[in-house]
Amino acid sequence: GREWITDDPLGIGGLLCDSLRLARLMAAGTEVQGGLLEEMLSSAAEGVHRYVRLNPTIQPVEYRLAFRELGLAIGLHAPVFIEKYLRDLPKRFGAADVAAVALKRISAHRDLATDIIDFWLAAENRSGAGWASHLDINMVMLATSLLPQGFLGE
């Protein structure tokens, strides 16, 4: 099997966004490898669990990378849309129960997205060298996190 579990916030966010893209393809009737969505969502759920266990949001701002955290915040909006596909088109999704369990684990941390966004919206957290050294990508990711459905295509 593949190993997609990571505690990197940008990696987790990317996996969640890719899971939504896959769910969208499945909802449209595209044939995909059996169990792929479930595997991706289970990996993302474990990644979120590991990330939260590290308690990274207590780190001082100089040890945090906004664009990586904001990538997770964006990705944490994807499960709502995936859940809708599973609910509305159950016959298109094989092991929907496995996916639903993973989505429930991920959704338990939905407030993390708000915490991350609120942290980076605070001007004092955007005044240091860490923010400035990645200014372009940080600004894009912050803007995207404020209107994630524009990026997620929903």
What confidence tens digit (pLDDT) does each residue in 65-80 have? 999 999 999 999 999 9
Cβ(85)–Cβ(93) under 8 Å? Answer: yes
Which residues span the domain enclosing 148? Answer: 9-152
State yes or no: pLDDT of 86 exceeds 90.
Answer: yes
The domain tally of the chain equals: 1
At 1 the pLDDT is 62
Quote the pTM value: 0.95
Let me know if residue 128 belongs to a domain: yes
In a domain, 24, yes or no: yes
- Residue 147 DSSP label: S
In a domain, 36, yes or no: yes
Res 154: pLDDT: 67
pLDDT of 3 strictly over 90:
no
For the cut 90, the answer to whether the pLDDT of residue 49 exceeds it is yes
Asked if pLDDT for residue 118 goes beyond 90, the answer is yes
**Is position 63 within any domain?**
yes
Examine residue 51 and state whether it is found in any structural domain, yes or no.
Answer: yes
Q: Does the residue 55 lie in any domain?
A: yes
Angle at 115 between CA 114 and CA 121, to 5 degrees: 85
DSSP state of 34: T
